[in-house]
Amino acid sequence: MKLEEYLKNPDKEKLIDNIFSEIKKIQKDYEPFITISEKESREELKKKIKDREFLGIPISVKDNICTKGIKTTAGSKILENYVPPFDATAISKIKEVGYIIGKTKMDEFGFGTFCLNCAYGIPKNPRGVERSSGGSSGGSACLTSALNFPHISIAESTGGSISCPANFCGIVGLTPTYGLVSRYGLIDFASSLDKIGLMGKTIFEVAYGLTKIAGFDKKDSTSINKKPEDYTDHLKKDVSKFRVGVPKEYFNRVDEEVKKEVWRAIKKLEEKGVKYEEISLPSTKFALPTYYIISMSEASTNLARYCGIRYGETKELKGNYNEFFSGVRGEYFGEEAKRRILMGTFYRKAGYRDRYYLKALRVRRHIINEFKEMFKKFDCILSPTMPIIAPKFTDIALLSPAQQYAADFLTVAPNLCGFPHLSTPCGRAKGMPVGLHIIGDHLQEGKVLQLGSWI
Ligand code: GLN
């Protein structure tokens, strides 16, 4: 049953009776969870649902978002035993309508595109178990794709971690404008890029979920103070006056079959009256290195706090401080986290800061301006979400880290700019889902959802 139907006449009790056995089956087949949470016992939940306001919606949460009393690891061994004493703001908001069923797998701290860098195992794509669910929110997408019950999945994106797995698993993923959803209680990867967002089987679920979690929060200094709105109001509204831009650079190095399906979707929108124009965004080629320089630089400072003293795992206090810190970090960080700490530190090093990090910030501004110019003329910009269908694990094993990073070249720009974007399934290639990426100007999630609801 879809969430939209459930909300019309919610049989909360029946859902509570069935959801946990269902997700345990899914866990056996596809392994989306790090933790399944039955913290609120069925009896407690049954008491809670007596309250008419409480809708009893099952919620899954990416494991880098703090949940009170439920282990939160960010996919890392260094946080293996961390149980937050508080809820992230987005979680306390969504708990008004639902309860948490579990914490989903992710690449360690969000470092990855295929969910292979999780310290707690790899989720399998329900559309083909020999394939990746995408990263870094692979567990969220895997679960959402496999579960046929009303459900909302809360995920997070730094450079494409919602869109990519949503594309690979054939579901909808919404990344809101930077600052629209509070980051309070989100474990940082790159603070100027991290955004909490949503995944759903339908566009209604993400629009509904966003309505619940968006909003100003004084605990997050980058939070936007904006009047609340009901994002579901935008769905299925007429789009015949819409103008969209289709950047040619976003079709280079994209699989032919993927391109074909994306164009088919664009033509379908044209039948609804949407006017499209081919455009050029020449700075696109700089987006990937810009993203990796900024995100690794910020990650390397954010991860400095895991040193065995204040947060996370520790060891016996021995040797000088360098030996102690290196001992803890060497043991508990995974390979990709170490790579990013080393590279990020290099980019910020005295003498290199101007050459790499500060230059990347200037390029980022340039990319933003280029998009902003386009948004004067177009309501949305369309492209494929990922250049490929979900790859097989055996094929990913052949890729170098740099080749893996390169797979993100379509998703990094909207993330660098903090623009809202939606990935929605728009066809199939070799039996696997293809995603259409709909990008909007800041705070235009309404338009993005409006257009997406026609696909
Ligand atoms: N794949 C990108 C990376 O590895 C994006 C990850 C993310 O958005 N968390 O950094």
Of 426 and 41, the structure prediction assigns the larger pLDDT to 426
Mean pLDDT of 322-350: 96
Amino acid identity, residue 352?
Y
Nearest-angstrom CA–CA distance, 313 and 293 = 28
Residue 164 has pLDDT above 80, yes or no: yes
Amino acid identity, residue 362?
R
As a residue count, the chain comes to: 455
Residue 96 lies in a domain: yes
Where in the sequence is the domain holding 84, given as residue range(s)? 3-234
By CB neighbour count within 10 A (0-12 exposed, 13-18 middle, 19+ buried), where does 141 fall? Answer: buried
Decide: helix, strand or coil at residue 157: strand
Least confident of 21-30, 253-262, 308-317, 331-340: 308-317
Mean pLDDT of 101-117: 98
The answer, as to whether pTM is greater than 0.95, is: yes
- Spacing, Cα 169 to ligand 1 middle (Å): 17
Q: What is the pLDDT of residue 202?
A: 97
Nearest-angstrom CA–CA distance, 126 and 146 = 6
110 lines ligand 1 (CB under 6 A): yes
How do the residues of the chain divide into helix, strand and coil, expressed in percent and rounded to 5?
40, 15, 40
158 lines ligand 1 (CB under 6 A): yes
Q: What is the pLDDT of residue 324?
A: 96
Mean pLDDT of 428-448: 98
- Spacing, Cα 451 to ligand 1 middle (Å): 26
Residue 40 has pLDDT above 80, yes or no: no
Residue 325 lies in a domain: no
Q: What is the pLDDT of residue 53?
A: 86
Residue 143 lies in a domain: yes
- Which residue has a Cα nearest atom 10 of ligand 1? 111
Residues facing 436 on adjacent strands:
384, 424
Query: pLDDT tens digits, residue range 129-141?
Result: 999 999 999 999 9
Enter the tokens of residue 397: 């094993």
Query: pLDDT tens digits, residue range 257-295?
Result: 999 999 999 999 999 999 999 999 999 999 999 999 999
Number of domains in the chain: 1
Hey, how many other C-beta atoms are within 10 angstroms of the C-beta on 298?
Answer: 23
Decide: helix, strand or coil at residue 34: strand
Residue 406 has pLDDT above 90, yes or no: yes
Residue 362 lies in a domain: no
Residue 174 lies in a domain: yes
Residue 440 has pLDDT above 80, yes or no: yes
Is 140 catalytic? The answer is no
Catalytic pick among 76, 132, 136, 300:
136
Residue 391 lies in a domain: no
Residue 156 lies in a domain: yes
Least confident of 36-40, 109-113, 183-187, 397-401: 36-40
For a pLDDT cut of 90, what percent of the chain falls above it?
95
- Spacing, Cα 8 to ligand 1 middle (Å): 37
Residue 46 has pLDDT above 90, yes or no: no
Residue 53 lies in a domain: yes
182 lines ligand 1 (CB under 6 A): no
Residue 439 has pLDDT above 90, yes or no: yes
Q: Which pairs from 18-25 meet CB under 8 Å and 24+ separation?
A: 18/149, 19/58, 19/101, 19/149, 20/101, 22/147, 22/149, 23/58, 23/101, 23/102, 23/143, 23/147
295 lines ligand 1 (CB under 6 A): yes
Q: How confident is the model at residue 43 (pLDDT cuts 50, 70, 90)?
A: confident
Q: How confident is the model at residue 455 (pLDDT cuts 50, 70, 90)?
A: very high
Mean pLDDT of 217-238: 97
Mean pLDDT of 311-320: 93
160 lines ligand 1 (CB under 6 A): yes
157 lines ligand 1 (CB under 6 A): yes
> Domain of 149: which CATH number?
3.90.1300.10
**Starting from the edge strand earliest in sequence, which strands make up the sheet with 380-384, in order?**
33-36, 98-104, 57-62, 152-157, 195-200, 172-175, 421-429, 432-440, 380-384, 243-247, 275-279
Question: Shortest CA distance to 20 belongs to which of 46, 43, 38?
Answer: 38
Enter the tokens of residue 144: 């959402």
Helix 203-213 / helix 445-452 crossing angle, nearest 10 deg: 160
Q: How confident is the model at residue 44 (pLDDT cuts 50, 70, 90)?
A: confident
Q: Which atom of ligand 1 is nearest to the CA of 160?
A: 8
Residue 39 has pLDDT above 80, yes or no: no
